[in-house]
């Protein structure tokens, strides 16, 4: 399965396609690095989409994509908000699974309600998950997350971190392939990367993706990590869990083979 998933496998990244369906606008976490106010067709970053579509419109997108390129293997929902906070996510997954049972279904989540929704995700046919885990400690997490389910309390952030870890472990136990995304924020969580990797390896995560900070929103004045730092962090984290190094930090409506020029397919 993962050998044809372009967001899990470096080999597949250049051979197979994925399509993200932007059906999930609402979010239950306020991250300091997130800014979904702008859209430019030439930019590639998480949370950006030209439009939010309905489940029915999403299904049409998949049909059109398959007609244009038979290398499509993965249908994912990655926003523009938190998929598990949007009812359209479930309808979309069921529609796609019903009409195209051979396609892999993937979902990106912050993990806040993952444990509660895992049975429903399995019923919808989900085979892989990406969970964004930026910290294991409240000390650094409170600088990254400005609100959790509407609360700014430290206890809410602590409960969120616990929920992420429990959700990831339960997903792995259930047979779901899990990738951990970690946004590398210099001066905030760089000292935790190795610890996150150690935890990820311990619970059975398939792969880890260290993503450089995109300076925007509350972190617009923070310089992203340079390549030397990223390489060092990946080397140290790789002792515990495999590292994915080809991430394009793609849009919530991204489509095509990630390793090929942006916009080459199914736009």
Place of tokens 């892989």: 128
pLDDT at site 98: 96
Domain boundaries, the chain: 2-251
From residue 220, alpha-carbon distances to 145, 157, 190, 250 in Å are 15, 22, 17, 19
What is this structure's pTM? Answer: 0.94
Please determine, for residue 129, whether its predicted confidence score (pLDDT) is greater than 80: yes
| Mean pLDDT score, 72-81 | 94
Q: Which residues pair with 179 in a beta bridge?
A: 130, 207
Residue 146 and residue 76: Cα distance in Å, rounded?
26
Query: Any residues with CB less than 8 A from the CB of 102 and at least 6 apart, and which?
Result: none
118 pLDDT band, cuts 50/70/90, is very high
From residue 120, alpha-carbon distances to 67, 71, 124, 137 in Å are 29, 28, 6, 29
For 2-251, CATH gives 3.20.20.70
Query: Any residues with CB less than 8 A from the CB of 213 and at least 6 apart, and which?
Result: 33, 183, 184, 185, 186, 219, 222, 224, 225
Residue 11 and residue 201: Cα distance in Å, rounded?
21
For the ranges 7-21, 41-55, 131-145, 196-210, the lowest mean pLDDT is seen at: 41-55
37 pLDDT band, cuts 50/70/90, is confident
pLDDT at site 260: 82
Residue 134 and residue 171: Cα distance in Å, rounded?
18
Q: What is the dihedral of CA 173, 141, 135, 162, to 10 degrees?
A: -20
- Give the tens place of pLDDT for each residue, 201-233: 999 999 999 999 999 888 999 999 999 999 999
Residue 212 and residue 7: Cα distance in Å, rounded?
16
In terms of pLDDT, which residue wins out, 255 or 84?
84
Residue 31 and residue 35: Cα distance in Å, rounded?
9
45 pLDDT band, cuts 50/70/90, is confident
């Amino acid at each position: 399965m993962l050998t044809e998933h372009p967001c899990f496998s470096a080999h597949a990244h250049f051979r197979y396609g994925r399509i993200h369906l932007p059906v999930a606008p609402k979010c239950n976490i306020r991250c300091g690095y997130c800014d979904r106010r702008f859209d430019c067709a030439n930019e590639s970053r998480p949370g950006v989409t030209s439009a939010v579509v309905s489940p029915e419109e999403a299904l049409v997108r998949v049909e059109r994509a398959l007609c244009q390129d038979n290398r499509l293997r993965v249908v994912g929902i990655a926003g523009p908000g938190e998929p598990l906070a949007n009812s359209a996510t479930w309808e979309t997954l069921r529609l796609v699974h019903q009409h195209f049972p051979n396609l892999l279904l993937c979902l990106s989540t912050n993990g806040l309600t993952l444990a509660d929704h895992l049975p429903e995700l399995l019923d919808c046919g989900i085979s892989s998950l990406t969970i964004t885990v930026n910290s294991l400690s409240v000390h650094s997490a409170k600088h990254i997350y400005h609100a959790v389910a509407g609360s700014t309390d430290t206890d809410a952030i602590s409960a969120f971190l616990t929920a992420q870890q429990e959700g990831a472990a339960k997903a792995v136990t259930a047979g779901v392939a899990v990738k951990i995304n970690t946004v590398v924020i210099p001066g905030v969580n760089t000292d935790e990367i190795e610890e996150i990797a150690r935890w990820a390896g311990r619970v059975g995560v398939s792969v880890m993706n260290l993503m450089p900070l995109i300076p925007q929103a509350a972190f617009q004045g923070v310089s992203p990590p340079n390549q030397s730092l990223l390489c060092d962090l990946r080397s140290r984290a790789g002792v515990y869990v495999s590292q994915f190094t080809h991430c394009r930090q793609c849009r919530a409506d991204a489509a095509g083979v990630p390793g090929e020029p942006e916009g080459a397919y199914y736009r």
